[in-house]
Amino acid sequence: LQDGRPSSALGEFNRVLKAQPASNVLDKTLLAMGASYLLLHDCDSAKLAYSSCEKRFGKDKSGQEAKKRLAILAHPTPDMCAPQ
């Protein structure tokens, strides 16, 4: 994701989820997946990633961050999401 390649990053994040679904980086992985989807203008998938993070880690810092991002997605800017 830091290299500006969100599609490649999503592949790596999915590998982490498959290999270690109960990993200690699951919260960060879900947040980064949401960010990757947003860079690809896929708001529905971003919402899914952020919702998963919020549900699983709601009281943690990452869960609170996911909640903030979901609030932004509730009222997206015109260029934020790809046309459906």
Buried b (16+ CB within 10 A) or exposed e, 16-51: beeeeeeeeebbbbbbbbbbbbbbeebbeebbebbb
**Pick the residue with more confidence: 25 or 55?**
55
Q: What's the predicted TM-score (pTM) here?
A: 0.85
Taking 80 as the threshold, does the pLDDT of residue 23 lie above it? no
Note whether 11 and 3 are within 8 A (CB): no
Note whether 11 and 32 are within 8 A (CB): no
Would you place residue 84 in the very low, low, confident or very high pLDDT band (cuts 50, 70, 90)? low
Longest dimension (CA), the chain: 36
Specify the pLDDT at position 74. 96
